[in-house]
Amino acid sequence: MLLANALLLVCLLVSVQAKTHTFNYAARWAWLNPDGVKYRPVITLNGTWPLPTIEVNKGDRVEFRLINELGNSTTSMHFHGLYQHSSNWYDGPVGFTQCPIMEGSSMLYNFTVDGQSGTYWYHSHTCAQYSDGLRGAFIIRDAENGVESLQYDEEKVITISDWYHDLSTVLTKRQLSKYNPTGGEPIPQNALMNDSKNVTFNVEPEKTYLLRFINMGIMVSQWVYLEDHEFEIVEVDGVLVDPAKTELLYLSVGQRCSVLLRTKKGKKNYALVQKMDEQMLDTVPDDLQTVSTNWVVYDENLPLPQRTDLDTWDLNFVNDVDLVPVDRMPLLPEPDMSIVVDMKMEMLGDGVVYALFNEKSYMAPKVPTLYTVLSSGKMATNEKIYGSNTNTFVLNYNETIEIVLNNFDDNKHPFHLHGHEFQILERSKPHDVPHPYHANHSRQFPEFPSRRDTLTVAANGHFVIRYKSDNPGVWAFHCHLDWHLEQGLSLTLVEAPLKIQQQLGSNLPKDQLDNCVNSNQFHAYGNAAGNVYDWYDLRGEKLQPEPLPLGFTIKGYIALVASALVALYGLYSIYGFGMDDVKKHGWEDSEVLVNLRRKVEDPVIQKELDQLISQTRGIEN
Ligand SMILES: [Cu+2]
């Protein structure tokens, strides 16, 4: 009885302290010029941009209503890095956990922020839409176990991103086109810091600042350094780590890193430099500034210095794989399930370059995978019903899951797992030729592995990660370089489907159901093809195009013969035209020679000219 009363008291205290944050946000277009170079349409929330930073405490409730007033596009919202315990249907990715929010409709994201704290962000999970500006910072505070428990005087949120002058829809169309045979990604026009350029941050001497860096870009990783200063990394992707000193940060899109900055005694201003990782750009156009300068300002009356161009390789750098979580979560045991995926980029039969995991490119099902789980009863544990082109794996509850990712591509890729942080067991360095993972060649795994929710695989390299399937839900594992996600670089991880059914029940919230009903692309029930009578009948599901044919097809042979005939005709025409020319010019030439012959008196030259005249007349005849 005493224990029950005590528990009740604790529950009451928690419920008194936990707050509900209500947001009603309309997504609308505005005409803005963040980089000072070009105005373009940008997606605002209630007309505001940069988007508001959402700040909550661990345990708080969030009621985030997104109203689609874009007028020309569907939308959605994902809260990047949040576990969404028992609230999987508010995770946000279209095709995985929801239908798109239709024009004029809305959706309520209603969840408790539980069991985690740190630096997160929120962004649209509809195509590559967040590059149009629909992204902002999301901070979860925890005075006891979060970065808030550390000693610092002030805090600043610093976002970095790439920036395009074209709409994401235009860029995606251009990229997924047979006229882009290399599959080259769109090159950004600029890099932003806090959604602006030439930003200044005022500081005072001899103070400690907590800087929360977030890369909200869509493609390019960036280096960040503050001249003549050192950072101390204390948090990555919501995981508190032992302080690690570094002069240089590297953030792939989707990644966050909080650092402590101790300011100096003297008064002088310093360049805060952000630098795009040029290795990720197919080409570097002349007018693209890959390095941008911002400033940490000790004294507003002093000038803002030029940056010194440094080779970032000269700076001391801490690899995120070597960070040690403060909670000392031990290495997870040998996996119960190992998912080995080889990824590559390849042109398929329609001439478009796709991203393939084990030869399969992710194609969105006709029913969001979570809704298939919720409508399929006991069939939910059967991988087949989720479609043959969705790269779906069904995971058992509370097992150790290992993902081995082998990169057969010569670009880097930042992979993000929804609903979890994962342990990083191993990540290879970049290679010129593919180096897939071989278990027996590996080094000893760390005792307390570094954890995060977004990890970059090196060019032609690999990584090995583990996590526990203790969060029932449909979770995407995908490249956060969204142009690649559009090319199909995603897995669907259906974690403990029967438990998902227990947690969520079978009735969708009405606004979610309405969005499916109004969508001409998705249904709310059935297997990946929208079938409810025969769960194995996948006719009508979206499939990737056939591979490019090997060798010649009938069409190819016809084309070959036709082009050979055309070539022969062309040669004949050139010959005819050329000879015609020679005849004509021959005639003119012989006239010239005859005139010359009349004027020349030297008999030797006369003889030579006579020969030439008879030769050219021969051609004429
Ligand atoms: Cu990628």
CA of 356 to the centre of ligand 1 (A): 11
Distance separating alpha carbons of residues 280 and 341, to the nearest angstrom: 22
Sheet containing 135-141, strands listed edge to edge, beginning at the edge strand earlier in sequence: 54-57, 135-141, 118-123, 78-80
The DSSP annotation for 162-177 comes to EE-SS-HHHHHHHHSS
Centroid of ligand 1 to alpha carbon of 219 (angstroms): 8
Tokens of 94: 């279209």
pLDDT of residue 80: 98
| Burial environment of residue 601 by CB neighbours within 10 A (0 to 12, 13 to 18, 19 or more) | exposed
Residue 144 to residue 455: CA distance in whole angstroms = 27
Length of the chain: 621
Q: Which superfamily is assigned to 150-327 in CATH? A: Cupredoxins -  blue copper proteins (2.60.40.420)
Give the C-alpha separation, 438 to 81, whole Å.
30
Q: What's the pLDDT score for residue 165?
A: 97
Report the separation in Å between the CA atom of 412 and the middle of ligand 1, taken as the mean of its atom positions.
7
CATH superfamily of the domain spanning 19-138: Cupredoxins -  blue copper proteins (2.60.40.420)
313 Cα–ligand 1 center, Å: 24
Residue 589 pLDDT: 52
Q: How much is the pLDDT for 587?
A: 44
Which of the 8 DSSP states describes residue 430? Answer: P
Q: Parallel, antiparallel, or unpaired: how do β-strands 270-276 and 256-262 relate?
A: unpaired
Strand order in the sheet with 222-226: 200-202, 291-297, 270-276, 222-226, 249-251
First vs last Cα of the chain: how many Å apart? 124
How far is the centre of ligand 1, averaged over its atoms, from the C-alpha of 85 (Å)? 27
pLDDT along the chain (621 residues), means of 10: 52 65 98 97 98 98 98 97 97 98 97 97 97 98 96 98 97 96 96 98 97 98 96 98 96 98 94 96 94 97 89 80 97 97 97 97 98 96 97 98 97 97 96 91 84 97 98 98 96 98 92 95 96 95 91 71 81 68 48 68 75 62 40
CB-CB neighbours of 514 under 10 Å: 18
Q: What is the pLDDT of residue 590?
A: 60
Backbone angles phi, psi at 467, to 5 degrees: -155, 170
Distance between CA 205 and CA 21 in Å, rounded?
A: 36
Number of neighbours of residue 398 by Cβ within 10 angstroms: 14
- Residue pair 264/205 in contact (Cβ under 8 Å)? The answer is yes
Beta bridge partners of 454: 416
| CATH level 3 topology of 337-518 | Immunoglobulin-like (2.60.40)
Tell me, in angstroms, the distance from the centre of ligand 1 to residue 129's CA.
Answer: 16
How far away, in angstroms, is 415 Cα from ligand 1 center?
A: 7
CA of 411 from ligand 1 middle (Å) equals 8
Looking at residue 178, its pLDDT comes to 95
Q: CB–CB of 431/461 below 8 Å?
A: yes
d(CA 173, CA 349): 17
- CA–centroid distance, residue 480 to ligand 1 (Å): 6
Which amino acid is located at 147 in the chain? V
Asked if 512 contacts 367 with a C-beta cutoff of 8 angstroms, the reply is: no
What's the CA-to-centroid distance between 300 and ligand 1, angstroms?
A: 41
Q: Where are the domains of the chain?
A: 19-138, 150-327, 337-518, 554-620
Q: How far is the CA of 572 from the centre of ligand 1 (A)?
A: 50
How many whole angstroms from 525 Cα to the centroid of ligand 1? 31
Of 58, 78, 213, 84, nearest to 145 by C-alpha is 58
Q: On the CB side of 63, how many CA atoms lie within 13 Å of its CA?
A: 5
Ligand 1 centroid distance, CA of 430 (Å): 15
Ligand 1 mean position, distance from CA 483 (Å): 7
How close is the Cα of 187 to the center of ligand 1, in Å? 14
**Among all chains, which residue has been given the structure tokens 């036709």?**
562
List, in order, residues 6 or more apart from 257 with CB less than 8 Å away: 119, 213, 233, 235, 236, 249, 251, 320
- Spacing, Cα 567 to ligand 1 middle (Å): 42
Dist. CA 457 → ligand 1 center (Å): 9
**Per-residue confidence (pLDDT) for residue 382, from 0 to 100:** 97
Tokens (6 digits) for 589 = 């030439």
Greatest extent of the chain over all pairs of C-alpha atoms, in Å: 138
Burial class (CB in 10 A: 0-12, 13-18, 19+), 180: middle
Rounded distance between C-alpha atoms, residue 248 and residue 229, angstroms: 10
Q: How far is CA 425 from the centre of its chain?
A: 22
For position 6, what pLDDT does the model report?
Answer: 55
Give ipTM to 2 decimals. 0.83
Give me ligand 1 centre to Cα 344, in Å: 10
Give the distance (Å) from ligand 1 centre to CA of residue 486.
Answer: 10
Compute the distance from residue 413 Cα to the ligand 1 centre, in Å.
4
288 CA distance to ligand 1 middle (Å):
22
Identify the pLDDT of residue 596: 67
Q: What is the distance between the alpha carbons of residues 422 and 445, in angstroms, rounded to a whole number?
A: 14
Q: How far is the CA of 103 from the centre of ligand 1 (A)?
A: 29
The closest alpha carbon to 240, from 322, 324, 332, belongs to 324
| Fold agreement between 19-138 and 150-327 | yes
Dist. CA 165 → ligand 1 center (Å): 21
Q: Give residue 224 CA to ligand 1 midpoint distance, Å.
A: 21
Query: What is the rounded CA–CA span in Å between residue 524 and residue 600?
Result: 99
Please tell me the distance between residue 481's alpha carbon and the centre of ligand 1 in angstroms: 5
Contact 464, 331 (CB under 8 A): no
In this structure, which amino acid lies at residue 403?
Answer: I
How far does the centroid of ligand 1 lie from the alpha carbon of residue 478, in Å?
A: 8
Task: Please tell me the distance between residue 503's alpha carbon and the centre of ligand 1 in angstroms.
Answer: 33
Buried b / exposed e across 552-582, counting CB within 10 Å, b at 16+?
Answer: eeeeeeeeeeeeeeeeeeeeeeeeeeeeeee
Distance (Å, whole) CA 211 – CA 203: 12
